[in-house]
Amino acid sequence: MYGRMATTKLDLTGLKCPLPALKTRKALRALTPGALLEVHCTDPLSAIDIPNLIRETGDRVEITERGEQRIVFLIGKAAAAV
């Protein structure tokens, strides 16, 4: 669906709530529609905060990987609202 757009990686390991969600929002603003943002977090609250943020922005969480030490989100930037 997103073609071969570049993936921007955002390392937010070690940051605590609300910084991962705030930095993810800022990074998404800079992306063009169809681009992917890969976000790495260690704060357990990110598993709640980032999906909630994505529901607000209208973007899409493609993949969520949750390990013992980190959470990884792959977020697809939606087309601009008309």
Question: Active-site residue among 5, 10, 15, 17?
Answer: 17
The neighbouring-strand residues paired with 10 are: 39
How do strand 71-76 and strand 60-66 relate by DSSP bridges?
Answer: antiparallel
Cα-Cα-Cα-Cα dihedral of 15, 45, 29, 60, to 10°? 140
For the question of residue 17 being annotated catalytic, the response is yes
Residues tagged active-site? 17
